[in-house]
Structure 1
Amino acid sequence: MKKIRLLLILFAFMLTVYHPLSAQEDKQEETAKDSVRTEKPEVIRDTVLPESYTIDPLSPSKAAFYSAILPGLGQIYNKRYWKVPIVYGAIGTGLYFYISNKDQYHRYRNAYKRRLAGFSDDEFYNIDGVVNADGSPDVSMDALRRAQEYYQRYKDLSLLITIGLYALNIIDANVDAHLKQHNISQDLTLRPLIVPNDFTTGTTFGLSLNFNF
């Protein structure tokens, strides 16, 4: 009887000792599971550095100065190589018409001056090589004077156009150098905007200009 009582006491003691240990282990396991379950995976994001823009305030002046020295040189400085043929084509066309009109003006001018001096050997007096029956020239003095006025007017116009194209070449290099340094980023956006109108139950269309600082 005493043995049975001792065995019961020993069994009760083992249960008492084992129960806190097992409860503590279960609690630790549950805590570990909760930490694993609630812990979010760490996401490492790459650091994106904003693009730096180097602004040279003298760049537009340099481009304009180079184009003033030699047309097209400012465009080369701005790395707009495709504009160089356009610059030379435009200025070359203006120079071609200026030189052509100037040569024609001097032709009629020299013939007119020789007529005034009493000569009849200019190139417009007998163009086809056949002398007129009345001895009159093929191109009269009045026609020579009108031809001079005509070619002088277009000679001056061609010169003005050429100078304008030369100035435009300088302005283009200057403005292009300004625009080349302009910072275009997502901080400044222009996009279409559609807003429902509560009064007319319609739709309002427009543009949205956003600045982000």
Structure 2
Amino acid sequence: MQVDAQEDSLLVAPQVVVEEPSYKPYDPLSPARAAFYSAVLPGLGQAYNGKYWKIPIVYAALGVGVYFYHNNDEQYDRYRAAYKSRIAGKTNDEFSNENGQPIISNQGLIEAQRFYQRNKEISVLVTVGLYALNIIDANVDAHLQQFNVSEDLTLKPKIDYDRMSGSAGYGLSLNYNF
């Protein structure tokens, strides 16, 4: 059986199936869940979102805040103990020389206590702020993961050729598909 040239042109070409990219289904509770996980255990919300590289940053930030709180607390206790011993009439604290003469005056000890007390409070505030930032980051990241960012949004140059006049118009087109 021979196929005519005319019949051959009527043959249907196989259809090319283009697969659309797969996206996560929309989960409205995902941001709340990520924030809750980060509130329970810092970094857990980042793990829930799949952003594992953020976990060391979270723990380093919180660790720095805790370190400075602990360091300022130790210094505060040193100056407080020396001040208490001077008030009790002792002259052999760590801020006095061998003869019992004070290297730092009582007023200096009071000022040092105030300084380290203020630094302790600032350390607590910074640590709590970083903890809150950890929760906010997990929440915002979970929100942003649900946006459809695909190749359907493109910016490409376009040449519009006018067949009637034989001239070309140049421009940019922004293609956005819903």
SS at match of 2:52: coil
Residue 88 of structure 1, CA deviation = 0.5
| 8 Å contact kept, 1:72–1:87 | yes
TM-score scaled by structure 1? 0.68
1:186 paired residue number: 151
Between the aligned residues of both structures, percent identity stands at: 54
2:25 paired residue number: 54
**Inter-CA distance 105–46: structure 2 relative to 1 (3 Å threshold):** same
Q: How does 1:92-171 map to 2 (within 5 A)?
A: 92-126=63-97, 130-131=98-99, 135-171=100-136
TM-score scaled by structure 2? 0.80
SS at match of 1:146: helix
Q: Which runs of 5+ in 2 are unaligned?
A: 160-169
**Inter-CA distance 91–52: structure 2 relative to 1 (3 Å threshold):** closer
1:44 paired residue number: 14
1:23 paired residue number: none
Q: Which runs of 5+ in 1 are unaligned?
A: 1-28, 196-203
**Inter-CA distance 115–182: structure 2 relative to 1 (3 Å threshold):** same
**Inter-CA distance 136–179: structure 2 relative to 1 (3 Å threshold):** same
Residue 33 of structure 1, CA deviation = 4.3
Deviates more, 1:70-79 or 1:108-117: 108-117
| 8 Å contact kept, 2:31–2:138 | yes
Q: Deviations over 1:145-180 (max 9, x none)?
A: 121122122211111111111111111111111112
| 8 Å contact kept, 2:91–2:101 | no
Deviates more, 1:105-114 or 1:169-178: 105-114
Residue 34 of structure 1, CA deviation = 5.5
C-alpha separation in 2, matches of 1:185 and 1:167: 31
**Matched letter for residue 156 of structure 1:** E
**Inter-CA distance 34–85: structure 2 relative to 1 (3 Å threshold):** closer
Q: Deviations over 1:62-84 (max 9, x none)?
A: 11111101111111111211111
SS at match of 1:82: helix
**Inter-CA distance 107–72: structure 2 relative to 1 (3 Å threshold):** same
Greater radius of gyration (CA)? 1
SS at match of 1:96: helix
RMSD (Å) for aligned C-alpha atoms: 2.6
Residue 209 of structure 1, CA deviation = 4.5
1:5 paired residue number: none
Q: How many correspondences in the alignment?
A: 166
2:50 paired residue number: 79
| 8 Å contact kept, 1:53–1:183 | no
SS at match of 1:173: helix
| 8 Å contact kept, 1:67–1:173 | yes
